[in-house]
Amino acid sequence: MSSNKIPISNNLSQELSDLLIRLGLVAFLVVTSVKILNPFMGMLLWALILAVTLYPLHQKISKRVAGNQGRAATILVISGILVIGIPTMILGGSTADFITRAHDAFQNDARIIAQPSPSVAEWPLVGGKIHDAWSMAATDLPGFIEKIKPQLAEISKTLLGVAAGTVGGIFQLLFSLIISGIMMAYGQPGSDAMKKIIRRLSGPEKGEQLHKLSTATIRSVSMGVIGVAFIQALLLGVGFVFADIPAAGLLAIVVLVLGIAQLPATILTIPVIAYVWWSGDSMISNVFFTVYFVVAGLADNVLKPIFLGRGVDAPMPIILLGALGGMVTGGMIGLFTGAVLLALGYVIFMDWAINEGKNSHDPLPDNVTEAVQIDK
C-alpha cells in the first residue's frame, strides 16, 4: 500500500509545481503587458468604446459600399473628425476672439462690462452685493480686478486646467476615433474572439448573455450620457455663438461637463437668457434666443430616456448609478466601466438569486438521483 502511495504523492506534487509555474508565467506576462500598454490604455479604451458604439452605423455604411469594411470605416472616421472638429474650431475661435477683444479693451481702458440694470439691486438676498460689484467692474475694472485678485487667481488656475484638459481630451478623442476605425474594419473577428474568451470564462450560455449585455451597456451609456451631453453642448454652443454671448466656447464646455455629471443645463442657460435680455436691442431676437435656449437646455429630458438603458437587460437606474459612480472613481472612462460592471453584477446576481432558486425545486437529474439512492 505504502509503495503505491509514494508515486501518487510525487505525481501530485509535480503537477502542482507545474501548475504554479504556469500561473506565475501567465501572471508575469499579464503584468508586463499591462505596463507596456499603460501609456496607451486610455486611448485604447476610448477607441474600443467608440468602436462598439459606432459599429451598427459602420455596418449600415458598409452595405452602401458593397460590404467593404475598410472603406466604411474610413468614411465614418472622416465624418466623425468633421463633426467633432468643425464645432470645436468654431467654439475655440469664439473663445479666442473674446479673450483678444477683452485684452485689447483692457489695455486701452475701454469699457468691457456694461452697467447693470437697476432691477438687479432688487433681487432678494444677494441683489445689492451683485449690483455693487457689477457697477464697480463696469466703472473701474482694474480696481475691481485688484480687489478680487486672490479669488481671480484661483479661478483662473482652475479654468486653465479645465481648458487644457478639455483640449487634450479632444485630441485624444480624435486619435481614438482613428484607432476605432481600424477596430471596426476588423470588427467581426474581434467580436468573435471576445465571445470565445467570455464563453471560456463563464460558459456558453452565460457568455453569450454577458457579451450582449456589455455591448448594449456601452452603447447605452455612450448615447444616453456622453451623446446627449455632446448634442446639448453643441446646440447651446452654436446658440451662444449666434447670440454673441461672451466666451461661448467655454460656456459650451461647461454645458458638456454639466451634462456628463447629470446636472441640468438650465443652471447655465438661465443666466445666459438674463444676459440676452439685458444686452439685446431687438425684442424679436431676445424672444427667439430665449425660446431656443429653453428648448435646447431641456433637450436632455427628452433624449436621455430614449437612449439610456435602451436594449439593456438591467434597469435604467442601475445603468445611471453605475455611470455616475464610475465617473466619480475613474473619470470619463469610469462612466463606461462603472455602468458595465454594475449592469453585469446586477444581471449575474438576479440570475443567481431568481433562476437558481427556482431551479432548486426542479427534479434532480438522473445521475444525481442515482447517486443519492446508492448513498442511501
Of the pLDDT bands very low, low, confident and very high (cuts 50, 70, 90), residue 200 is confident
In terms of residue numbers, what domain contains 153? 39-185
Does 277 fall in a domain?
no
Mean pLDDT, range 144-161, rounded to an integer? 67
Spatial contact of 297 and 273, defined as CB atoms under 8 Å apart: no
Does 210 fall in a domain?
no
Taking the C-alpha atoms of residue 346 and residue 74, their distance in angstroms, rounded to an integer, is 37
Q: How many domains does the chain have?
A: 1
Mean pLDDT, range 149-174, rounded to an integer? 67
Mean pLDDT, range 146-166, rounded to an integer? 66
Taking the C-alpha atoms of residue 71 and residue 61, their distance in angstroms, rounded to an integer, is 9
Angle ∠(169,156,266) on CA atoms, nearest 5: 70
- pLDDT value for 364: 38
Of the pLDDT bands very low, low, confident and very high (cuts 50, 70, 90), residue 370 is very low
Does 26 fall in a domain?
no
- pLDDT value for 365: 44
225 burial class (0-12, 13-18, 19+ CB within 10 angstroms)?
buried
Does 72 fall in a domain?
yes
For the stretch 61-106, pLDDT in tens is: 888 888 788 888 889 888 888 877 776 666 666 666 666 666 665 5
Does 167 fall in a domain?
yes
Spatial contact of 372 and 364, defined as CB atoms under 8 Å apart: yes
Say how many CA atoms lie within 13 Å of 75 toward its Cβ. 16
Taking the C-alpha atoms of residue 135 and residue 133, their distance in angstroms, rounded to an integer, is 5
Taking the C-alpha atoms of residue 31 and residue 117, their distance in angstroms, rounded to an integer, is 63
- What does each C-alpha distance from 262 to 168, 211, 225, 343 come to in angstroms? 22, 27, 8, 19
Segments in 38-147 forming alpha helices (H) = 41-64, 69-107, 127-139, 141-147
Does 200 fall in a domain?
no
**Type of residue at 208:** E
Does 128 fall in a domain?
yes
- pLDDT value for 376: 41
Mean pLDDT, range 154-181, rounded to an integer? 71
Does 130 fall in a domain?
yes
266 burial class (0-12, 13-18, 19+ CB within 10 angstroms)?
middle
pTM for the whole structure: 0.60
Distance, first Cα to last Cα, the chain: 29
**Type of residue at 167:** V
Q: Which helix (H) or strand (E) holds 9?
A: helix 2-37
Q: Which residue has the higher pLDDT, 306 or 169?
A: 306
The DSSP letter of residue 120 is G
Q: Which residue has the higher pLDDT, 59 or 320?
A: 59
